[in-house]
Amino acid sequence: MADKNAKDNISAREVNYNQHLILLYRFYAKSLFMPIRIRQHVNPLARKFQQPIPIPNWAEIYDKSDRPLHLDIGCARGKFLLAMAQLHPERNFLGIEIRKSLVIDANEVKQELGLTNLHYLFGSINASTSLLASLPHNTLKTISIQFPDPWFKKRHNKRRVVQPELVEALVTHLAIAGEVFLQSDIEEVAIEMRDRFAIYPCLTQQHSTTWLATNPLAVATERELYVLEQNLPVYRVLYTKFAEL
C-alpha cells in the first residue's frame, strides 16, 4: 500500500511538472512565434497614462503579503519576474508595465501556473507613486529598473521612467537594507539613472568600480541576454539603503 501511495505521489508530481512546462512553452511560444501587434514605444506622458494605478488589496493579491517584495519597473512581458518568482517562493514579486496587453498576458500565465507570489499591474509608475505608500510596511526590499526605453531625442528625455520625483518616492519607501538595481545598454541612460539615485546619502553603492561587472540577480532579462550575445557592454549599478531618508 505504501509503495502504491508513493507511486501515486510521484505520478502527481510528474503531471504537475508537465503541466508547468506546457504553460511555460505556451507563454514563450506566444511571444516568439505568434505575430502580436505591440507598440514598442509608448508615450508615458499621454493623458491616458496620467491616471494613477488603482491600489489593489495586497492581502488578496499575495497569499502572504508580508513577504519581502521585489518591484520591477518596466517589466515588459514579465518573463524575468516569472522565473524569479519560481526561484524564490519566499518572496513576492510585482511588475509594473505601461503596455496593457503585456500585463494581461503575463497575469494569465501567472494564474495558470498558480503562482501566488507574483502579480503584474498596468499603468505608469510615475503617475502612481501613491502605490508605493500603499505597500505593506517595510516589505519593499528590492527595486529593479532594467533596460528602460532610452528616448534618445533630447526633447523626449522627460519621457524616461527614472524621473527625480519617482526616485525620491522609491528611496523613501525602500526598506532599510533594501537594494536598487539599475542596468542599461545605453551608457547615457545608465549614467542618468545612477546619478539620480546617487544624490541620496542614505544609499551606498555596493561596488568600488564605476559599473558592476556582473548581474547580481539569478535571472537575466531578454534584453540583457540579447545585448550580451552581441558582445555589447551593459552598464549596471547596485545601491543599498542603510538609513532612512
Instruction: Kindly state whether residues 32 and 77 are assigned to the same domain.
Output: no
Whether residues 103 and 155 fall in one domain: yes
Q: Are 15 and 98 part of one and the same domain?
A: no
Computed over every residue of the chain, the mean pLDDT equals 86
Give the residue-averaged pLDDT of 69-96.
97
Is 11 domain-assigned? yes
User: Which residues lie closer than 8 Å to 38 by C-beta, 6 or more apart?
Assistant: 99, 101, 102
| Structural domains counted in the chain | 2
Residues 65 and 22 both lie in one domain: no
**Grid coordinates of 168:** 525620491
Do 188 and 73 belong to one domain?
Answer: yes
pLDDT bin (cut points 50, 70, 90) of residue 76 is very high
pLDDT for residue 49: 67
Q: Please indicate, yes or no, if residue 43 is contained in any of the structural domains.
A: no
Asked whether residue 116 falls in the same domain as residue 161, the answer is yes
> Which DSSP letter does residue 166 get?
H
List CB contacts of 1: < 8 A, sequence separation 6 or more.
none
Which pLDDT belongs to residue 155? 72
CATH code, domain carrying 161: 3.40.50.150
- 49 located within any domain: no
Residue 213 falls inside a structural domain: yes
Domain contains 129: yes
CA distance 153 to 160: 11
Q: Which of 8, 63, 72, 149 is catalytic?
A: 149
Residue 46 lies in a domain: no
pLDDT at position 66: 97
121 membership: H or E segment, kind and range = strand 118-122
Decide if 55 is inside a domain: no
Quote the domain boundaries for residue 8.
1-36
Angle at 207 (CA atoms; ends 201, 208), nearest 5 degrees:
90
Task: Give strand pairing partners of 115.
Answer: none
Phi, psi of 116 (to 5 degrees): -100, 5
pLDDT digits (tens, 9 = 90+) for 175-234: 999 999 999 999 999 999 999 999 999 999 999 999 999 999 999 999 999 999 999 999
Is 45 domain-assigned?
Answer: no
Residue 37 has pLDDT above 90, yes or no: no
* Nine-digit cell string for 81: 519576474
- Active-site residue flag, 66: no
| Residues 154 and 68 both lie in one domain | yes
What is the tens place of the pLDDT at every residue in 135-179? 999 999 999 999 999 966 677 677 798 999 999 999 999 999 999
Tell whether the model's pLDDT for residue 39 goes beyond 50: no
Grid coordinates given for 226: 540579447
Give the model's pLDDT for residue 40.
63
Q: Mark residue 227 as left, alpha or beta (left: phi above 0; alpha: psi -120 to 50; beta: remaining).
A: alpha
**Residue 5 and residue 124 in one domain:** no
Please, how many CA atoms are within 13 Å of residue 61, restricted to the half-sphere of its CB? 21
**DSSP 8-state code for residue 54:** P
Determine the length of the chain: 245
